[in-house]
């Protein structure tokens, strides 16, 4: 299948490109290096320096024999979108091309505007490009479990039947996020759902939980193919940050009571979920939604796991509760369904002690490049 990956330079984008091309798909990636620019502006660095997309595509081809096409440009500009879609008419599209960090979106007015403008502008252009150049192509959109927030009822997979005053109807599950980033993902879903109904698009919306992990099958033998791995408070996800804090001998920063509970998944499972979705596309006029995670943990549980595994490796891991800089429930009900991707064939990579240990061992190799002042700055929501 010809697959175009929007946002191919990011933490998930490049590993997805390798994973799909290794399984026989014809892959092209698009990126404007926005994440790199924002990291530079905010003075944070990934754990390992990452070659450019063109360099990574060359390394990957040299290693594996698979060719990945690279387009560099801004998907918010229609001229560029048109150029890419005319040149590489995809059958499947993976849309990662968004400003992906909740803390960044809450930094200041400029960051908020960039997040809103970039995320919705790219999604709108994607919708128009599919309609114009490849109306039968299947869009796989990365949403977030954060769209649902933490409701006091079970979270279904995207849809809910509501019975009210003796009548019934089926609705998009009501969504209520707690950052602007997460809210733009709600808006993406609304936009896609509109054009699925109006134009008959095929869309899979993957409500993904926080991802962790350092390497995938394709990068484990070749560290220059590793993902763009942020461990800072702004762009890093919580478990990745905890692992780096453990190795750097910094206390694990738990926000508030630490009862915040989410569904997590290994980066390898992200790749499998995206591939399984592409290989069994949504129907014409269907918005198919999956909840994409494999296990549920509270922040305290993650911190305790990292502490236990870190201490067994001879580290001295401390846990430091901090006043919560975010506005979120610190103790809440959380029971989301997540059967759709398992039914498509997902075989989860669970967060075992062995998995955590392997992550830590790799981070230990890069210990000297950890910038401790990157890890925590206390970006406040208000």
Q: How far is the CB of 313 from its own copies (least distance, A)?
A: 39
Helix (H, G, I), strand (E, B) or coil at 372: helix
Choice between 114 and 313, CB closer to its own copies = 114
The Cα 134–Cα 311 span in angstroms is 53
Q: Which of 16, 115, 144, 294 is catalytic?
A: 144
Going through 89-218 in order, the beta strands assigned E by DSSP cover 92-95, 138-144, 159-164, 167-172, 202-208, 211-212
The Cα 21–Cα 30 span in angstroms is 15
User: If you count them, how many residues does the chain have?
Assistant: 382
User: For the chain, what percentages of helix, strand and coil (3-state, to nearest 5) are there?
Assistant: 40, 20, 40
Q: Which of 104, 123, 184, 185 is catalytic?
A: 185
Choice between 70 and 122, CB closer to its own copies = 122
**Tokens of residue 358, six digits:** 């392997």
For residue 116, give every residue at least 6 positions away whose Cβ sits within 8 Å of its Cβ, in sequence order, or none: 180, 184
Which stretches of the chain bind its own copies, using CB under 8 A?
A: 78, 106, 109, 112-113, 116-117, 120-121, 124, 128, 151-154, 160, 162-165, 167-169, 171-180, 183, 186-187, 190-191, 193-194, 197-199, 327, 333, 381-382
Would you put residue 191 in left (φ > 0), alpha (ψ -120 to 50) or beta? alpha
Closest by CA position to 148, among listed 116, 98, 189: 189
Q: How far is the CB of 189 from its own copies (least distance, A)?
A: 10
Q: How far is the CB of 6 from its own copies (least distance, A)?
A: 17
Choice between 173 and 242, CB closer to its own copies = 173
Please answer whether residues 134 and 85 qualify as being in contact, where contact means their C-beta atoms are separated by less than 8 angstroms.
yes
The Cα 339–Cα 262 span in angstroms is 16
Choice between 248 and 329, CB closer to its own copies = 329
Q: How far is the CB of 185 from its own copies (least distance, A)?
A: 10
Choice between 198 and 312, CB closer to its own copies = 198
**Secondary structure letter of residue 188 according to DSSP:** H
Q: How far is the CB of 182 from its own copies (least distance, A)?
A: 9
Choice between 123 and 237, CB closer to its own copies = 123
**Phi, psi (degrees; rounded to nearest 5) at 6:** -90, 130
Q: How far is the CB of 328 from its own copies (least distance, A)?
A: 10
**Tokens of residue 114, six digits:** 């960039």
Catalytic residue at 144?
Answer: yes
Catalytic residue at 181?
Answer: yes
Q: How far is the CB of 346 from its own copies (least distance, A)?
A: 24
Other CB atoms within a 10 A radius of the CB of residue 189 amount to: 24
Please answer whether residues 303 and 319 qualify as being in contact, where contact means their C-beta atoms are separated by less than 8 angstroms.
yes
**Tokens of residue 107, six digits:** 């930094």
The Cα 324–Cα 328 span in angstroms is 8
Choice between 176 and 311, CB closer to its own copies = 176
Catalytic residue at 173?
Answer: no
Report, as residue numbers or ranges, the catalytic residues.
144, 181, 185
């Amino acid at each position: 299948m010809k697959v175009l990956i929007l946002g191919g330079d990011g933490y998930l984008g490049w590993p997805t490109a390798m994973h799909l091309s290794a399984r026989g798909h014809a892959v092209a990636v698009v990126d404007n290096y926005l994440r790199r620019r924002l990291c530079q502006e905010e003075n944070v660095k990934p754990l390992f320096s990452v070659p450019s997309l063109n360099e990574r595509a060359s390394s990957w081809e040299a290693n594996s024999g698979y060719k990945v096409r690279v387009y560099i440009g801004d998907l918010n500009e229609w001229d560029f979108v048109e150029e890419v879609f005319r040149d590489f008419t995809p059958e499947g599209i993976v849309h990662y091309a968004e400003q992906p960090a909740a803390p960044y979106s809450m930094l200041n007015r400029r960051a908020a505007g960039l997040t809103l403008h970039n995320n919705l502008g790219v999604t709108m252009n994607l919708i128009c490009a599919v309609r114009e150049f490849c109306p039968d192509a299947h869009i796989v959109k990365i949403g977030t479990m954060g769209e649902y927030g933490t409701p006091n009822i079970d979270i279904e997979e995207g849809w809910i039947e509501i019975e009210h005053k003796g009548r019934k109807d089926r609705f998009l599950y009501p969504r209520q996020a707690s950052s602007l980033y997460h809210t733009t993902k709600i808006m993406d879903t609304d936009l896609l759902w509109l054009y699925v109904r109006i134009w008959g698009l095929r869309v899979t919306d993957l409500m993904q939980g926080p991802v962790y992990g350092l390497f995938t099958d394709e990068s484990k033998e070749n560290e220059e193919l590793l993902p763009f791995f942020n461990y800072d408070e702004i762009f890093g996800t919580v478990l990745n940050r905890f692992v780096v804090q453990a190795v750097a001998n910094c206390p694990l920063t738990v926000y508030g009571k630490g009862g915040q509970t989410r569904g997590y998944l290994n980066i390898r499972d992200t790749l499998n979920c995206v591939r399984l979705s592409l290989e069994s596309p949504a129907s014409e006029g269907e918005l198919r939604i999956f909840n994409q995670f494999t296990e549920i943990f509270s922040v305290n549980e993650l911190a305790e796991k990292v502490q236990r595994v870190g201490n067994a490796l001879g580290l001295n891991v401390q846990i430091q509760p901090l006043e919560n800089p975010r506005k979120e429930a610190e103790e809440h009900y959380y029971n989301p369904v997540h059967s759709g991707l398992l039914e498509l064939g997902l075989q989860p990579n669970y967060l075992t002690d062995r998995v955590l240990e392997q992550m830590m061992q790799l981070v230990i190799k890069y210990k000297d490049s950890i910038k401790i002042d990157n890890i925590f700055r206390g970006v406040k929501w208000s």
